[in-house]
Amino acid sequence: MTREAQRAYDHQRLPLFQKGDVMAPKTVTRAQLGEAVYQEVGLSRRDSTTLMESVLKEVSDALAGGESVKISSFGSFIVREKGQRTGRNPKTGEEVPILPRKVLVLRASHVLKDRINGSKSVSSTPSPGAALFETRVD
């Protein structure tokens, strides 16, 4: 795709996921989120990107500080400590120690789980931020 064609495509408002669409993207990027904020909120592109980046920074800082982050109707991000354990090299069979570490876990809310599974029990009224995940701008 030429650079001009990519730019033209970048500015189209398309659904992120379409059932049965093999070409649906598998990843939503920062740029797409920034563009979705721009289109949904009405701020300038620069202000939309700044807003999104500040939210991501707050979430990242909280998680890096060991705090949990709960986003209503989405889920909770939790930093969990994993202890040391013994693993095995699959190629040689040699036992190797796996050092203790922290991992990030997302516990999805029931609302998000229902939405992913296409449940009819979820309200048909979209949440204010729903368009962020229903709009593709890549």
Looking at domain 3-133, its CATH architecture is Irregular (4.10)
> Per residue in 37-81, pLDDT tens?
999 998 999 999 999 999 999 999 999 999 999 999 999 999 999
Q: DSSP letter string over 9-76?
A: HHTS-B-S--TT-TT--S---HHHHHHHHHHHH---HHHHHHHHHHHHHHHHHHHHTT--EEETTTEE
pLDDT of residue 18 exceeding 70, the answer is: no
> Per residue in 72-120, pLDDT tens?
999 999 999 999 999 999 999 999 999 999 999 999 999 999 999 987 6
Would you list the domain boundaries of the chain? Answer: 3-133
pLDDT of residue 136: 37
